[in-house]
Amino acid sequence: MLNARSIEAGGSGIAARSYDSSLGCWATKVQPGEFYITVAHPEEAITTVLGSCVAACIRDPEAAIGGMNHFMLPEETPHGRGDWRDAVGLATRYGSYAMESLINGLLKLGARRERLEVKLFGGGQVLDVDMPVGQRNVEFARRWLLTEGLRVVAQDVGGKSPRRIIYFPATGMVKVKQLRPVESREVLSSERRYLGDVAARPLVGEIELFRD
């Protein structure tokens, strides 16, 4: 098991892991800007709550290794072109870093790239902003995965409601719950803070995708 780590270069944090009596197992909550990887155990779940953010749940079913990330693309600077292929764009670099951090961690623990299965969630249009934040996050993730030749076996994206995601990496099963309005307000507040934090704290390093 790895502790949840911040996607921002050099950052790290301790996983919010506790026993969830409603699930009957240990559960680790992944916060915005984090990823978490585990050598999958039948009695372990990874959870998160998504509004406009996107989470990729990725596992190697044979090696029983799985993980989840949770990220949102920052807004482009006035000098950014907004093209997902623009390697100098902050959004592209950040999104790539978020995906590569998770996949590299899986491969280093023994997962095989050709066996990876991906499930994609989130990207709702829930923030009260002009830019289609959720759609932009989903489009980036899909394009990135397509370029890297990774297969998406399931997805639940878009819409206008936040979601709670419960991922069981040992089996690949995912439970998705649409949140009520009272729960949605807390999600929106958290994502607004996160979007502001990401814009104010750009990446300070790069990583290269590990090839097994």
| Annotated catalytic residue, options 4, 15, 53, 58 | 53
Tell me yes or no: is domain 5-199 CATH 3.50.50.60: no
Query: Is 182 in a helix, a strand, or coil?
Result: helix
- H/E element holding 107? helix 90-108
**pLDDT digit string, tens, across residues 57-102:** 999 999 999 999 998 876 554 444 444 344 335 666 778 888 999 9
pLDDT given for residue 192 in this prediction: 67
Sheet with strand 151-157: strands edge to edge: 5-6, 34-39, 65-69, 54-60, 117-122, 151-157
| Percent of residues, the chain, with pLDDT higher than 70 | 66
pTM score: 0.79
57 is catalytic: no
36 in the Ramachandran plot: left (φ > 0), alpha (ψ -120 to 50) or beta? beta
Regarding beta strands 117-122 and 54-60, do their DSSP bridges make them parallel or antiparallel, or are they unpaired?
antiparallel
- Residue spans of the domains in the chain: they are 5-199
Whether 203 has a pLDDT exceeding 60, the answer reads no
